[in-house]
Structure 1
Amino acid sequence: MTTLVLHRGSLRANPYERWLADHGEKIVLLASAEQLALFGEELPTEAPYLHAEALTGYDTGPHVAERAAELVERFGVTDVVACQEFDIERAAALRERYGLPGQRPGSALVYRDKWRMKQAAVRARIPVADHALLRSADDLGAFADRHGLPLVVKPRRGALSVGVSVLRTAEELAGWLRTAEIAGPDGEPQWLAEVFVEGSMCHIDGTVLDGQIATLWPSQYQYALADYRDRKGRVDIALDTADPLARR
């Protein structure tokens, strides 16, 4: 059994050889050269790695998917692992092409395309902020006229909050339009506008032991997420047991 790992980030923080040790699998690694340089890391050379290489232009280049397919065929890959947002669709396409187990493009698209994601949520009657797909600059102005400021603009297929902006004034809106490419190279809309939702942001941390939830508790961020002008400490604090929001 051989696993192809599509990797972006730190190898020290992602010990695939330990994670896959119980399965006795050999590993083929395709990594981001930029990320390895950022973390000052080298490619692994010892077992269980059969092969490891790094490519430049990893986040956006079509050559990454092409090289991944070559590695699947060369090493007889039986599984594909992808832990980063940029790799979800790549991995799904490889699984479908080669009949490998795991997520396929139909569901992967909903995780990566925020427009499709919101449509799926609406169909499931899950409340989401009012939003619009921007097909032209006029669409953003019309959205602001309907909903007012501030509003949020975000890449349709972004990751890690890169490119997300909160437009609080007419001047910021006009400035954003001067620099944004509304359509991608294929002519498809690549930006969404959303109503800005006031309020605190919480998240849930938990652990699973033997397939069962062992711990589960919410914490509240103490800074504004996705707002890179906010220079407060990047901390969060667990909610008190008496806080009604904790139980909710």
Structure 2
Amino acid sequence: MNIIFVEPAFPANQRRFVHALASVGADVYAIGESDEAHLGDDLRSALRGYYRVGSVTNVQQLIDAVRHFQGQVWIDGLEATIEAHMMPAAQARQATNIPGTSVRTTWLCRDKPSMKEVLRAAGVPTAASAAIESSAEAKEFADRVGYPLIVKPRTGAGAQGTARADGDDELAEVLHRFGDEGATSLAIEEFVEGHEGFYDTITVDGRVAHDWVTHYYPNVLEAMRHRWISPQFVTTNRVDDPSNTFYAEVRELGRRVIDALGIETSATHMEWFYGPKGLRFSEIGCRPPGVGAWDLYSAANDVDVYREWAHVIVHGRPEQELKRSYAAGLVALRPDRDGVVTGYDGIDRLQQRHGEWIIDAHFPPVGHSTQPVEAGFMANAWVRVRHPDYDTVRAMLDDIGRTVKVHAG
């Protein structure tokens, strides 16, 4: 099978997808923005061909590159895994008659108001939402729904660019800031109170082949507002427990989302909230999750999830079953201020207490520039662990967050 992969070199984990496809027997052709000489021998050896473009988000350039490869071999599939690449890839598929995720499905997974309208029509509970293009439309929504409200770009990924408004003055300030950034159309929605997590799948012809349920501690907006928080996300190994009705409900709603949006063979990423109003689904991505979630899933199940994805793409079925042997999680460790890293406390105690269960860790060297809190979970130092018991994983991550200190100056 001949597969085109969009942008094999950046970010760095894109190489994992290329190697996974090659490992299950695909001939991989890639379209990227780097000079081929800069790909490195390891990546070039996994490719049968490479075509450089100025931008992989330029649809015409992508179409031209696809047609270049179609002039050489029969192309069976075109894959992309980065949010910003999804729509150009779908449009290139449509223009070149390559099967895969459609433009309609991709649009519904990108445009938040349209997505939620379709989900509500399918009986999937979501937050009240609307597309707005003026402050008057925003004020009308606020008067109808009430505060607090969430405002975000219509096609952003996850919590990217998300802002909360608790009153008229804050809403006006948020809209002004988005206007200064050039946003002319935004998504506005009710703030859903409750615990936040995500449901990820790999699907085959609209059926779930693999799935995972993961929890945030605390919720993302709170985590991205406060430097002192060491936020976590933890994937559970209890999802198959027949007595756990919550996970059963998450999985059932996830399957309804897949059907409503017309997702066929793909990775998916679905954000959810659970609170006083019950379970609500939020953002939906027709792509793998970010922040190294698949690395956690691989460690939790003793299986290479990237290879599982590739096996589904190439052979139409998973290669292995998930073992659910471990729960696994990540804790982000923030520097005490912006600047450069000056040192760490507690790393020795971390190894002494939890070394057996540590998957891996990242500690930027002294002198390395820090990243702002809002840059995300893996922007600075972090540690990943696994353990057969979910509650023990939580306790370990709490302890690591209290013990390890990142100093900056």
Q: Do they superpose with TM above 0.5?
A: yes
- Structure 1 pair 87/128, CA: closer, same or farther in 2 (3 Å)? same
* Distance in 2 separating the partners of 1:140 and 1:234: 31
Please, which of 159, 165, 168 is the counterpart of residue 166 of structure 2? 168
* CA distance in 1: counterparts of 2:221 and 2:85, whole angstroms: 21
Q: Which has the higher helix share?
A: 2
Q: Is 1:158 the equivalent of 2:171? A: no
Secondary structure of the 2:173 match is helix
Give me the whole-angstrom Cα distance separating, in 2, the residues matched to 1:101 and 1:177: 39
Structure 1: which amino acid aligns with 2:185? Q
Query: Offset at 1:220?
Result: 2.9
Contact persistence 1:6–1:31 (CA under 8 A): no
Tell me, yes or no, if the aligned pair for 2:145 and 2:190 is still in contact at 8 Å: yes
- Comparing 15-24 and 65-74, the one that deviates more: 15-24
| CA distance in structure 1 between the aligned counterparts of 2:201 and 2:27, rounded to whole angstroms | 28
Is the CA contact (8 Å cut-off) linking 2:18 and 2:28 kept in structure 1?
no
Distance 2:135 2:16 in 1: 41
Per the TM alignment, residue 196 of structure 1 is displaced from its structure 2 partner at its CA by: 0.5
**Cα deviation digits, residues 133-174 of structure 1 (max 9, x gap):** 213111111222222221001111112321111112333212
1:12 CA drift (Å)? 5.9
Alignment match, 1:203: 198
- Residue 10 of structure 1 deviates from its aligned partner by 1.9
AA paired with 2:64? E
Partner SS state of residue 30, structure 2: strand
Q: CA deviation at 1:212?
A: 8.4
Pick one of 3, 9, 12 that aligns with 2:11. 9
Q: Is the CA contact 1:92–1:108 (under 8 Å) kept in the aligned structure 2?
A: yes
Which structure 2 segments of 5+ residues have no match?
Answer: 250-409
In structure 2, C-alpha distance between the alignment counterparts of 1:32 and 1:154, rounded to whole Å: 31
Q: Tell me, yes or no, if structure 1 residue 74 matches structure 2 residue 68.
A: yes
Shift of 1:66: 2.2
The counterpart of 2:45, out of the listed 25, 44, 47, is 47
Distance 1:19 1:139 in 2: 46
Deviation at 1:239, TM superposition (A): 8.7
Question: Is 1:44–1:52's contact at 8 Å kept on the other side of the alignment?
Answer: no
After TM superposition, give the deviation of residue 124 of structure 1 in Å. Answer: 0.7
Percent identity over paired residues: 23
The CA distance in 2 between the partners of 1:207 and 1:25, in whole Å, is 21
- Letter of the 1:48 partner, please give it: A
- What are the residue-to-residue correspondences of 1:1-248 with 2, within 5 Å? 2-7=2-7, 8-11=10-13, 14-31=16-33, 42-45=38-41, 46-49=44-47, 50-51=49-50, 53=52, 55=54, 64-76=58-70, 78=75, 79-181=77-179, 190-204=185-199, 218-227=213-222, 228-231=224-227, 232-237=229-234, 238=236, 245-246=246-247, 248=249
44 and 119 in structure 1: CA distance in 2 versus 1, 3 angstrom threshold: farther
CA RMSD after TM alignment: 3.4
**2:220 alignment partner, SS class:** coil
User: In the alignment, is the contact (CA less than 8 A) between 1:6 and 1:82 conserved in 2?
Assistant: yes
Determine helix, strand or coil for the equivalent of 2:189: strand
For normalisation by structure 2, the TM-score amounts to 0.48
Take 1:175 and 1:92, find their aligned partners in 2: how far apart are those partners? Answer: 35
Q: Give the number of the structure with larger relative contact order, counting CA–CA contacts within 8 Å between residues 6 or more apart.
A: 2
2:2–2:26 CA contact under 8 A, matched in 1 = no
Structure 2 Cα separation of the partners of residues 163 and 32 of structure 1: 27
CA contact (8 A) 1:220 1:236 kept: yes
